[in-house]
Structure 1
Amino acid sequence: MKKVLGIDIGGTKIRMGVVNETGEVLEDITIPTKLPLYPYLEEQVLKVIEKFPDLKGIGIGTRGMVDAKTGVVTFEKELEGWEGTPVKAQLEAATGLRVEINNDANCAALTEVRLGAALGFQRVVCLTVGTKLGGGLVFDEQVINGTHGGAGEVGHMILYPNGLVCGCGRRGCSEEYVSGTALRRMIQEENVVNPKTGELAIPQELFRLAAEGLTSAQTVRDRFLSDFAVVISTLQAVLDMDCVVVGGGVSESADDWWENLLAKVEPLKLKPLELRRAAFGNEAGMIGAAMLVTDPSNNS
C-alpha cells in the first residue's frame, strides 16, 4: 500500500505523518517551526525518509497562498522568508520523490470531503476558525486554488469596510472579527471576567461562560456568531455550496455555541445549506496534505 509523508506547516509547529491510501496515520511526528523554513524542512524530511525508505511522495499543507502547479509559496507574511520559496522544486531535487503543496485549509477540506463530515457532498466550503480564519474549497472532489493560489482566503473577505487593520494591511477583513484573535480582543472590550477566577476570560472558556448566563460573555458570543453567520451567508451567495464544515481550534467549544450559530444562519440562507462540525481535528491538514499525492484525481 502506498505510503506518503503528509506535512502540515503552522506558525509554531510542523506536524508530519506517514499516511497510507486510506488516510490511516502510521507515524505521527511533531516538531517546532524554525525559521528560515528552508533548508530546515528538507533536513527534517530526510530524517523521516531514512526511517521510511518506501515513501512514494510528499504532500505539504502550509499557511499562506500557494501556486499549486509550480509549488511556490506566493504570499505569507508571518513565516519570514517562506514567501517566494520554490518548495516543490527544491524538495523534489533533494529527495527524488514527487512533492505536492497547497494551502493548509484546502488540505483540511480535502480530508473532510474524502473521509469526514462532508462525505457525499459535491460543493464544500471548509472554514477553520483558529487564531485566524481560514477557508478551503473542494468542488466536485477537486481543490479550488484560483489563479494565484488565493481561492478560499475567506479570512480576507472584507466584512467591515474601513474597519480594523488586518495583518494583510487592509481594513475590515473577516478574520479580525471571526477568529480566536477576535474573541480575545472582544473579551477585553467587553471586560468579560470569569466569576470563578476574577480574571479576564480566555477564548476557550468564553462560550461556556455565555451558556452559564454571564451577560458580558453573551454579548461577545452574539457579536461573534452574528458576524460568522454573515460570512457564511456571503459565501453562499457567491458559491452556492451544499455543505459548510466548521473546524479549527474555536470549534472545540462548539457544544456551547453550535445551535446559536445555526439559528443566526437560518434567516440568512438563500438556498438549503448543510452546516456540519468537522470530524477531524488537528490531524486534518496533515492527512489532507498526504491526499494531494494519494488521491487518484490529483495524479499528474
Structure 2
Amino acid sequence: MKKVLGVDIGGTKIRMGVVNEQGEVLIDKTIPTILPLYPYLEEQILAIMNDVPDISGIGIGTRGMVDAETGVITFETEMPGWQGTPVKALLEAATGLPVEINNDANCAALAEARLGAAAEYKQVVCLTVGTKLGGGIVLDGKVMNGINGGGGEVGHLILYPNGIVCGCGRPGCSEEYVSGTAIKRLIQEQNVINAETNELAKPHDVFRLAANGHAGAIAVRDRFLSDFAIVISSLQAVLDMDCVVIGGGVSDSADFWWEELLAKVEPLKLKPVQVKRATFGNEAGMLGAAMLVIDSNK
C-alpha cells in the first residue's frame, strides 16, 4: 500500500505524518519550527525517510502564499528566509521523490473535502478561525490556488472599508473582525470581566460567559457572529458553494455559539448551503498535505 509523508509547517511547530491512501496516519511526529526552515526541513524529512524507507512522495502544507505549480513560497513575512524558497525543487533534488506543496489552510480544506465533514460535497469552502482567519476552497475536488498562490485568502476580504488596519497593510480585512485576535479586542472594548477571576475574560471563556447571560460577553458574541455570517454570505455570493466547513482554534468553543451562528447565516443565504463543523483538528493540515501527493498520482 502506498505511503506518503504529509508535513504541516506552522509558526511554532511542524507536524509530520506517514499516511496511506485511505488517509490513515501510520506514523505521527511533531517537532519545533526552527528558523531558517531550510535546510532544517530537509534534514528532518530525510530522518523520517531513513526510518520509513518505502515513502513514495512528500506533501507540504505551509503558512504563506505558495505557487503550487513551481513549489516556491511567494509571500510569507513572519518566517524570515522562507519567502522565495523553491521548496519543491530543493526537496525533490534531496530526496528523489515527487513533492507537492500548498498553503496550510488549502491543505486543511482538502482534508475536509476528501475525508472529513465535506466528503459528500462538490464545492467546499473551509474557514479556519484561529489567531487570524484562514481559508481554503476546493471546487470539484481541486484546490483553488489562484495565479499567485493567493486563492482562498478569505481573511483578506475587505469587511469594513477604512476599518482596522490588517497585518497585510490594508484597512478593514475580515480577519481583523472574525478571529481570536478580534475576540480579544472586543473583550477589551466591552470590558468583559470574568467574575471567577475578576480579570478581563479570555477569548476561550467569553462564549461560555455569554451563554450564562453576561451582558458584555453577549455583545462580543453577537458582534463576532454577525461579522462571521456576513463573511459566509459574501463567499456564497461569489462561489455558490454547497458546504462551508468551520475549524480552527476558536471553533473549540462552538458548542456555545454554533446555533447562534446558523441563525445569523440563515437570513443572509442566497441559496441553500450546509454549514458544518470540521472533522479534523490539528491533523487537518498534515492529512491534506498528504492528499496533495496522493491526488497527483491518480
Runs of 4+ in 1 over 4 A off after TM superposition: none
Q: Give the equivalent residue in structure 1 for 2:191.
A: 191
User: How far did residue 201 of structure 1 move?
Assistant: 1.1
Q: Give the equivalent residue in structure 1 for 2:20.
A: 20
User: How far did residue 79 of structure 1 move?
Assistant: 1.2
CA distance in 2: counterparts of 1:96 and 1:63, whole angstroms? 24
Q: How does 1:130-279 map to 2 (within 5 A)?
A: 130-279=130-279
1:61 aligns with 2:65: no
Q: Give the equivalent residue in structure 2 for 1:285.
A: 285
**The residue matched to 2:209 in structure 1 has which SS?**
helix
Q: Give the equivalent residue in structure 1 for 2:46.
A: 46
Runs of 5+ consecutive residues of structure 1 not aligned to the other structure: none
CA distance in 2: counterparts of 1:110 and 1:193, whole angstroms? 39
**Could you give the per-residue CA deviations for residues 167-217 of structure 1, whole angstroms, max 9, x where no partner exists?**
111111100110111111111111111111111111111111111111111
CA distance in 2: counterparts of 1:156 and 1:200, whole angstroms? 28
1:299 aligns with 2:284: no
CA distance in 1: counterparts of 2:157 and 2:197, whole angstroms? 37
**Could you give the per-residue CA deviations for residues 108-144 of structure 1, whole angstroms, max 9, x where no partner exists?**
1111111111011010000000111011010111111
| Corresponding residue pairs, total | 298
CA distance in 2: counterparts of 1:97 and 1:51, whole angstroms? 16
CA distance in 1: counterparts of 2:43 and 2:165, whole angstroms? 37
CA distance in 2: counterparts of 1:174 and 1:31, whole angstroms? 31
Q: Give the equivalent residue in structure 2 for 1:80.
A: 80
CA distance in 2: counterparts of 1:67 and 1:132, whole angstroms? 22
Q: Give the equivalent residue in structure 1 for 2:110.
A: 110
Q: What amino acid sits opposite 1:276 in the alignment?
A: K
**Could you give the per-residue CA deviations for residues 49-104 of structure 1, whole angstroms, max 9, x where no partner exists?**
11011110110011111000000011111111111110000011111111100011
**Could you give the per-residue CA deviations for residues 7-37 of structure 1, whole angstroms, max 9, x where no partner exists?**
1111111111111111111111111111111
Q: What amino acid sits opposite 1:299 in the alignment?
A: N
CA distance in 2: counterparts of 1:299 and 1:22, whole angstroms? 14
Identity of aligned residues (%): 76
Q: What amino acid sits opposite 1:6 in the alignment?
A: G
CA distance in 2: counterparts of 1:52 and 1:237, whole angstroms? 46
**The residue matched to 1:91 in structure 2 has which SS?**
helix
CA distance in 2: counterparts of 1:172 and 1:188, whole angstroms? 19
CA distance in 2: counterparts of 1:21 and 1:293, whole angstroms? 10
Give the alignment's TM-score, normalised by structure 1. Answer: 0.98
User: How far did residue 162 of structure 1 move?
Assistant: 1.0
User: How far did residue 299 of structure 1 move?
Assistant: 2.8
Q: Provide the alpha-carbon RMSD of the alignment.
A: 0.9
Runs of 5+ consecutive residues of structure 2 not aligned to the other structure: none
Give the alignment's TM-score, normalised by structure 2. Answer: 0.98
**The residue matched to 1:128 in structure 2 has which SS?**
strand
Q: What amino acid sits opposite 2:290 in the alignment?
A: A
**The residue matched to 1:60 in structure 2 has which SS?**
strand
CA distance in 2: counterparts of 1:178 and 1:284, whole angstroms? 21
Q: Give the equivalent residue in structure 2 for 1:4.
A: 4
CA distance in 2: counterparts of 1:109 and 1:168, whole angstroms? 22
**The residue matched to 2:200 in structure 1 has which SS?**
coil
